[in-house]
Amino acid sequence: MKQLRVKVLVGLFVVAGILAWAGARLWDSFGTLPSVPVAAPIVLALIAAVLGATALSLRSRLKAQRERLADAKGVDPLVAARAVVFGQASALVAALVAGLYGGVGVFLLTSGVDGARRAQAVYAGFSVLTGAAVVAAAIFLERVCKLPEGDDGEDGPGATRA
């Protein structure tokens, strides 16, 4: 399994931001721009919390397993692989969504700030911040589930590195 690359996530964020800014500018010239939902940063924060909790849980279980504690609950490699895939998918989508809201937020701030647009820009800004939290939690989860370098364990032709 390939690791997430920060360059890809930043590139996705920037391209989505530029396209969203241009799209918001075009949309606003034809009519009223749709509002940024209040739930957007809340949903992203919940995803970041789930990823962070999963990473912390797996980290403690893997640490106990490595230290060979008597009551250590093992981690199934398939569970770790699924967690990493969930984290990677979440990071890609969060980078895209954060870029979209970032572009819309920049447009809102540069197009004349009134009360309604300022509130929408704040929601967009919080969405960008919570999107970054999702990416950070996903990268942390990926690092937690990474096998140590010298671990030759059961790596065969069909083995998956989680």
Query: Per-residue pLDDT tens for 73-92?
Result: 777 889 888 999 999 999 99
Q: What is the pLDDT of residue 105?
A: 93
Using CA atoms, how far apart are residues 123 and 102, in angstroms rounded to an integer? Answer: 10
Q: What is the pLDDT of residue 87?
A: 94
Region at 135 (left for phi over 0; alpha for psi -120 to 50; beta for the rest):
alpha
Q: What is the pLDDT of residue 48?
A: 97
* Tokens linked to 63: 């640490």
Judged by DSSP in three states, 78 sits in helix
- Which residues in the chain show pLDDT less than 50? 155-160
